[in-house]
């Protein structure tokens, strides 16, 4: 049994977190308080750790350092330190040194080896990260660590996000109960292909690092890898998962249903919230592809439809333009048979067996007025393979945000 609980990333036993302001983000003169921009998540004891990272070859310094540390520590971690406001990406040897100093400062504060610290950054690409501010923030955050610190940490990792993202669940098994919690950020530059913008998950189940890694990869492919806002794969994308073992419930298999369903409940919610809060988004759209000849074809078609600017702008305008959905599926590279293909907007079938049903356009348009909607495309290839992705609409606000991001 799975039930939603409070507490976010610190709901599982054995974790404390904090979020503080250290001056990395630009301050809004209209606000009395400086924005939170550094988060620290600490396990009471060294924890099993797993991660998935961006597939972008323009990889940020924190990703390089965290990959190194997971290898050096054999999949163990004690702390995660995250800053927002500066991505520390495309910053050369100096940026790499700063990421390592960031890990070293956190390690000194919590009393663990540097390779048991994972680091992450988000914000503007190409700007130098001020290590002095980071050190000050880590000192402050260490003093503020609390088992109730998830909310502050959640706000500290945000950039253009319109709202914070958090989830926690309790999983009850025959062997006892354990918790899984998480926080995430992401609003634009989202099409992970390996992870999301930034996601941090914890559990108090006892799971060996190798098992944890395989389970995270499996769940990430179904959740964080199944979302897109704008088709852009970031330099900094990562999801970290730590397991404290404090519940006493041991998981020994990466296909354990309790672990997978619990992770899906948290990661799936966070992933959909990232899309719901996409830059300029007004609608959350579920794209379902059926009738595919292979899993690869199903995902290829779903990703093409979900990323199509013409599809996304039609959805924003409430235009039931089935032709854009057919065209996107047909150009995706997946096996596609037009005379057997179909398209539905919500429950309304607007195209079937190669024939349009424009007499149902008003019904479909009514479906598109909702904040959440589903489009279903059958590729007509006769297969049983399916894929589901989540995307959002494109609005003029997305253009405004990204046209002014650095200025």
Q: Give the count of alpha carbons within 13 A of 348, CB side only.
A: 19
Reference 401, options 165, 191, 229; nearest CA is: 229
Rounded to 5 degrees, φ, ψ at 273 are -65, -35
Burial string for 318-341 (b: 16+ CB within 10 Å, else e) reads bebbbebbbbbbbebebbbbeeeb
Q: Which residues contact 181 (CB under 8 A, 6 or more apart)?
A: 7, 8, 9, 10, 11, 12, 15, 150, 166, 167, 168, 169, 201, 202, 203, 266
For residue 203, indicate whether it is catalytic: no
Neighbours of 401 (CB within 10 A): 15
How far apart, in whole angstroms, are the C-alpha atoms of residue 259 and residue 265? 10
d(CA 34, CA 313): 36
Of 78, 160, 196, 223, the catalytic one is 196
Q: Which of 278, 53, 284 is nearest to 188 (CA)?
A: 278
Residue with tokens 């520390």: 88
| Angle value at C-alpha 200, between 166 and 245, nearest 5 degrees | 105
148 by DSSP, 3-state: which? Answer: coil
Pairing of strands 284-292, 385-392: antiparallel
| C-alpha count within 13 angstroms, C-beta hemisphere, residue 208 | 6
Tallying the residues shown for the chain, one arrives at: 407
Which residues participate in catalysis according to the annotation?
Answer: 196
């Amino acid at each position: 049994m799975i039930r939603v609980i409070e507490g976010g990333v610190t709901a599982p036993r054995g974790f404390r977190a904090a979020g503080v302001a250290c001056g990395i983000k630009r301050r809004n003169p209209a606000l009395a308080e400086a924005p939170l921009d550094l988060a620290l998540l600490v396990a009471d004891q060294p924890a099993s750790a797993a991660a998935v990272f961006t597939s972008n070859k323009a990889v940020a310094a924190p990703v390089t350092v965290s990959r190194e540390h997971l290898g050096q520590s054999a999949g163990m971690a004690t702390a995660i330190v995250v800053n927002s406001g500066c991505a520390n990406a495309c910053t050369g040897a100096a940026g790499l040194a700063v990421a390592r100093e960031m890990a070293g400062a956190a390690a000194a504060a919590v009393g663990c080896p540097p390779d048991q610290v994972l680091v992450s950054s988000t914000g503007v690409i190409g700007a130098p990260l001020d290590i002095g501010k980071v050190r000050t923030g880590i000192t402050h955050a260490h003093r503020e660590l609390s088992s109730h610190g998830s909310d502050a940490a959640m706000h500290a990792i945000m950039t253009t996000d319109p709202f914070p993202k958090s989830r926690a669940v309790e999983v009850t098994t025959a062997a006892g109960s354990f918790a899984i919690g998480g926080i995430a950020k992401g609003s634009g530059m989202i099409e992970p292909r390996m992870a999301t913008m930034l996601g941090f998950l914890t559990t108090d189940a006892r799971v060996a690092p190798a098992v944890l890694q395989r389970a995270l990869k499996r769940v990430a492919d179904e959740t964080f890898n199944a979302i897109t806002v704008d088709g852009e794969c970031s330099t900094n994308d990562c999801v970290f998962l730590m397991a404290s073992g404090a519940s006493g419930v041991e998981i020994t298999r990466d296909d354990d249903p309790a672990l997978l369903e619990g992770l899906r409940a948290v990661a799936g919610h966070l992933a959909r919230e990232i899309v719901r809060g996409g830059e300029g988004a007004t609608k959350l759209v579920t794209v379902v592809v059926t009738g595919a000849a292979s899993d690869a074809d199903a995902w290829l078609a779903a990703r093409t439809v979900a990323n199509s600017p013409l599809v996304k702008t039609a959805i924003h305008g409430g235009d039931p333009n089935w032709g854009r959905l057919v065209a996107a599926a047909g150009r995706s590279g997946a096996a596609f048979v037009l005379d057997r293909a179909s398209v539905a907007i919500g429950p309304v079938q607007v195209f079937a067996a190669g024939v349009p049903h424009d007499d149902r356009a008003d019904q479909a348009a009514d479906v598109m007025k909702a904040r959440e909607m589903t489009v279903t495309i059958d590729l007509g290839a006769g297969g049983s393979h399916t894929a589901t992705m989540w995307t959002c609409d494109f609005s003029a606000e997305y253009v405004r945000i990204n046209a002014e991001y650095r200025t």
